[in-house]
């Protein structure tokens, strides 16, 4: 139980001290004992020697084929970890468990939306991964080749990722909610040789036809030579002979053994696309060994993962949260995880609580958007279920407002589960700013940089500041740090390393309080956070402009009660085209088709011009201020100041 009674705690000054159970028995405490470190302050201090710290962590968590010569090599902005070692993350995630007492331990508890259940042990995973890896090899997929994965939340998604990694191929997973166009663009960028998908999958009682979308995408992606299709729903699909292969057929006669490729520790593991400030998503590169130790240690400490835990990260594997904390880290730790295919309100609004009760989940990791959704459904739904198995809760993706934090704490955690508000990014690979279960918590703050990592808030001059808004920066490399942007080293240097010398710019406006706790306030750049997912303003603008009737568009985010932010688009139509309700709907659907439902504008307004600088840059800040009824500030640098009034008169 928390040592303070929450009813007497006051507004933002609320502090939730850790319970005795956590103080005495956590993994981090055990590590401190083993390293003869007495206090938590001493741990942070000792870990300032981050090279030593991550070397110790690797000793405990990883098994290399051949040892490394150096923990880290830092030639800003390029980093290498465990230099000289031979390694493969699949050895730690699957192979070693299949040869240990965990062989018959359940790795994945899968529940489909219709209620079908499958449990895969580490040995099952080992066999499935090997068979698929052999099938990929048979199709000519080699080390270094890229494989696109377009799958829903079924066990075959982690299996496909692991099979690629096993043979040294690089996977690029695209969220199954993204459109065919978005999938195609990513496959074109990474020049995928093969694609793994399924016939269709369940979402809110309906089937989503992923194979059809795949066909549409790859007809314009000539690098893709083969498609492996998992049969999920048994729906009829179109078929291209010699290109398409059923998963169950191509793996049927494959050997249950497949040697794991002994890679360089810094070989790429995957590319994952994320939105930036241009219309073109960036292919973030992650590598094997550093990423492995960074994800595994942070999960072990922050969520205090033990062998007895039933862990549920309810994110989608299509985003980095799922890559790191559904697939790689839990498997490296030999954990048992839940994977759920479908919607949270199907068939009823208590589906999640029902799942937690039935499997006795002990850890739940989700987003503030989901918490707010459940708040809206009402507290009677969780009350119907026994949630007493839960011991830890987590939050990620966007700042959690204290109201949602308190609701989660009371109604799901029953005031006994600490909430781990983890700040990190696709680029960081793993948690950077996050409490440990022994950290006093303040609702709405992700607390401090974890041991072995270092964050600061810099003002415009690059000076560290306290109690003032500024730029969140990370001041030295960390093991899961991105290794670049695929085919675009300049963009990598420009985006993250050019603002302050040798310091990583995260892109978040942040404040650090008197206790050194960080309060993330939101993105500093033109990137929207919709339900915790990143969408570039310019991506939505490009999608709109790709419609033949649209001349120009400007997209801004507005605060949204549920999703954190909503999308508002201002559209200039081509000469002679008249605004209409039908056109509004057409354009909304068009964006949905180009990018996916998640990027669908909530509002579309027609205007005759949008405010721009003389160099033609759309002034989104000015538009946003006007749209929100705030002071627009100095507009003298605008090429067309009269366009600001247009925003107010939009139809």
* Residue 321 or 454 having the CB closest to ligand WT7: 321
Per CB under 6 A, contacts with ligand WT7 among 57-76 are none
Q: CB of 367: closest distance to ligand WT7 in angstroms?
A: 8
Binding mask 115-154 for ligand WT7 (x = CB under 6 A): ----------------------------------------
Q: CB of 388: closest distance to ligand WT7 in angstroms?
A: 26
Contact 561, 372 (CB under 8 A): yes
Tell me how far apart the 2 most distant CA atoms of the chain are, in Å. Answer: 76
* Residue 396 or 599 having the CB closest to ligand WT7: 396
Q: Can you tell me the distance from the alpha carbon of 644 to that of 210, in angstroms, rounded to the nearest whole number?
A: 42
Q: CB of 290: closest distance to ligand WT7 in angstroms?
A: 17
Q: CB of 520: closest distance to ligand WT7 in angstroms?
A: 4
* Residue 232 or 523 having the CB closest to ligand WT7: 523
CA-wise closest residue to 394 among 469, 304, 320: 304
Q: Can you tell me the distance from the alpha carbon of 164 to that of 300, in angstroms, rounded to the nearest whole number?
A: 25
* Residue 209 or 507 having the CB closest to ligand WT7: 507
* Residue 200 or 531 having the CB closest to ligand WT7: 531
Binding mask 348-387 for ligand WT7 (x = CB under 6 A): ----------------------------------------
- Residue listed under structure tokens 């909503």: 566
Where does this chain touch ligand WT7 (CB under 6 A) — which range of 83-91, 304-312, 401-409, 525-533?
Answer: 525-533
Q: Which residues of 96-130 are buried (b: 16+ CB within 10 A; e: fewer)?
A: bbbeeebeeebbbbbbbbeeeeeebbbbbbbbbbb
* Residue 596 or 611 having the CB closest to ligand WT7: 596
Binding mask 270-299 for ligand WT7 (x = CB under 6 A): ----x-------------------------
Contact 152, 174 (CB under 8 A): no
Q: Which residue's beta carbon is nearest to the bound ligand WT7?
A: 426
Q: CB of 259: closest distance to ligand WT7 in angstroms?
A: 33
Q: What residues contact 45, with CB distance under 8 A and at least 6 apart?
A: none
Per CB under 6 A, contacts with ligand WT7 among 444-463 are 446
Per CB under 6 A, contacts with ligand WT7 among 495-514 are 506-508
Q: Which residues of 581-596 are buried (b: 16+ CB within 10 A; e: fewer)?
A: eebbeebbebbbbbbb
* Residue 196 or 446 having the CB closest to ligand WT7: 446
Strands of 561-640 (E only): list them. 564-573, 603-607
Please compute Rg for the chain using Cα positions: 24
* Burial class, 634, CB count within 10 angstroms (exposed 0-12 / middle 13-18 / buried 19+): exposed
How many residues of this chain bind ligand WT7 (CB under 6 A)? 23
Q: Can you tell me the distance from the alpha carbon of 129 to that of 152, in angstroms, rounded to the nearest whole number?
A: 17
**Does residue 520 bind ligand WT7 (CB under 6 A)?**
yes
* Residue 159 or 320 having the CB closest to ligand WT7: 320
DSSP 412: I
Count H helices, E strands: the chain? 23, 29
Among 129, 292, 305, 396, indicate the residue that binds ligand WT7 (CB under 6 A): 396
Helix, strand, coil shares of the chain, percent, nearest 5, are: 35, 25, 40
Partnered with residue 72 across adjacent β-strands are 81
* Residue 47 or 506 having the CB closest to ligand WT7: 506
DSSP 426: T
Number of neighbours of residue 48 by Cβ within 10 angstroms: 12
Q: CB of 368: closest distance to ligand WT7 in angstroms?
A: 8
Binding mask 22-41 for ligand WT7 (x = CB under 6 A): --------------------
* Residue 274 or 588 having the CB closest to ligand WT7: 274
Q: CB of 595: closest distance to ligand WT7 in angstroms?
A: 15
Q: CB of 275: closest distance to ligand WT7 in angstroms?
A: 8
* Residue 431 or 606 having the CB closest to ligand WT7: 431
* Residue 141 or 528 having the CB closest to ligand WT7: 528
CA-wise closest residue to 393 among 424, 376, 415: 415
Q: CB of 52: closest distance to ligand WT7 in angstroms?
A: 27
Among 80, 286, 534, 584, indicate the residue that binds ligand WT7 (CB under 6 A): 534
At 92, list the tokens: 């730690």
How far is C-alpha 622 from the chain's CA centre?
Answer: 30
Partnered with residue 638 across adjacent β-strands are 613
- Which strands form 194-198's sheet, in the order they lie side by side? 244-246, 226-230, 194-198, 146-149, 170-173, 268-274, 282-287
* Residue 523 or 563 having the CB closest to ligand WT7: 523
Per CB under 6 A, contacts with ligand WT7 among 397-436 are 397-399, 421-426
Where does this chain touch ligand WT7 (CB under 6 A) — which range of 68-76, 396-404, 572-580, 612-620?
Answer: 396-404
* 180-190 and 210-218 helices, crossing angle to 10°: 50
Q: CB of 325: closest distance to ligand WT7 in angstroms?
A: 9
**Footprint of ligand WT7 (CB under 6 A):** 274, 320-321, 396-399, 421-426, 446, 506-508, 520, 523, 529, 532-534
């Amino acid at each position: 139980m928390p040592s303070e009674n929450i009813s007497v705690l006051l507004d933002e000054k609320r502090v939730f001290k850790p319970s005795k159970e956590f103080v005495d028995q956590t993994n981090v405490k055990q590590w401190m004992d083993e390293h003869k470190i007495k206090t938590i302050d001493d741990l942070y201090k000792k870990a300032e020697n981050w090279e030593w710290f991550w070397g110790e962590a690797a000793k405990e968590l990883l098994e290399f084929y051949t040892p490394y010569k150096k923990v880290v090599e830092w030639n800003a902005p390029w980093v290498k970890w465990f230099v000289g070692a031979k390694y493969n993350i699949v050895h730690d995630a699957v192979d070693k468990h299949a040869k240990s007492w965990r062989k018959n331990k359940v790795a994945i508890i899968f529940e489909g939306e219709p209620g079908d259940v499958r449990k895969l042990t580490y040995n099952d995973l080992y066999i499935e991964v090997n068979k698929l890896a052999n099938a990929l090899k048979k199709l000519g997929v080699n080390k270094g080749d890229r494989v696109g994965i377009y799958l829903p939340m079924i066990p075959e998604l982690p299996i496909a990722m692991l099979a690629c990694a096993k043979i040294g191929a690089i996977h690029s997973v695209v969220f199954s909610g993204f459109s065919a166009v978005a999938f195609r663009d990513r496959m074109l960028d990474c020049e995928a040789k093969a694609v793994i998908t399924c016939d269709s999958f369940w979402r809110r009682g309906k089937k989503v036809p992923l194979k059809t979308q795949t066909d549409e995408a790859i007809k314009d992606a000539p690098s893709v030579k083969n498609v492996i299709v998992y049969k999920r729903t048994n729906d009829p699909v179109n078929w291209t002979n010699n290109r398409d292969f059923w998963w169950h057929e191509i793996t049927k006669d494959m050997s249950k053994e497949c040697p794991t490729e002994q890679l360089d520790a810094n070989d790429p593991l995957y590319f994952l696309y994320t939105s930036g400030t241009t219309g073109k998503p960036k292919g973030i590169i992650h590598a094997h060994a550093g990423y492995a130790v960074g994800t595994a240690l942070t999960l072990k400490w922050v969520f205090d993962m033990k062998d007895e835990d039933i862990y549920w990260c309810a994110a989608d594997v299509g985003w980095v949260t799922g890559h790191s904390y559904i697939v790689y880290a839990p498997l490296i730790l030999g954990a048992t995880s839940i994977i759920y295919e479908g919607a949270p309100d199907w068939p009823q609004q208590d589906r999640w609580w029902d799942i937690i009760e039935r499997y006795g989940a002990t850890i739940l990791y989700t987003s503030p958007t989901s918490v707010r959704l459940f708040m809206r459904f009402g507290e009677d739904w969780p009350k119907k279920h026994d949630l007493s198995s839960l011991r830890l809760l987590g939050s990620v993706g966007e700042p959690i407002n204290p109201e949602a934090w308190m609701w989660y704490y009371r109604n799901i955690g029953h005031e006994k589960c600490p909430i781990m508000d983890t700040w990190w990014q696709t680029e960081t690979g793993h948690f950077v700013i996050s409490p440990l279960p022994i950290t006093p918590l303040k609702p709405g703050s992700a607390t401090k940089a974890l041991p072995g990592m270092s964050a600061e808030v810099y003002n415009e001059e690059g000076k560290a500041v306290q109690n003032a808004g500024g730029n969140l920066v990370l001041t030295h490399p960390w093991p899961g740090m991105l290794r670049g942007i695929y085919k675009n080293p300049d963009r990598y240097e420009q985006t993250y390393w050019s603002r302050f010398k040798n310091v990583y710019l995260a892109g978040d406006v942040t404040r650090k309080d008197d206790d050194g706790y960080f309060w993330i306030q939101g993105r500093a750049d033109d990137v929207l956070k919709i339900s915790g997912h990143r969408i570039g303003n310019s991506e939505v603008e490009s999608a709109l402009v790709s419609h033949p009737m649209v001349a120009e568009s400007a997209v801004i985010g507005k605060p949204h009660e549920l999703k954190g932010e909503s999308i508002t688009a201002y559209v200039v139509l081509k000469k002679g085209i008249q605004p209409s309700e039908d056109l509004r709907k057409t354009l909304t659907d068009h964006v949905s088709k180009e990018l996916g439902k998640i990027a669908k504008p909530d509002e579309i307004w027609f205007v005759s011009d949008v405010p721009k600088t003389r160099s033609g840059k759309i002034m989104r800040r000015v538009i946003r201020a006007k749209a929100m009824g705030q002071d627009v500030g100095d507009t003298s640098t605008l090429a067309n100041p009269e366009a600001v009034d247009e925003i107010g008169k939009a139809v």
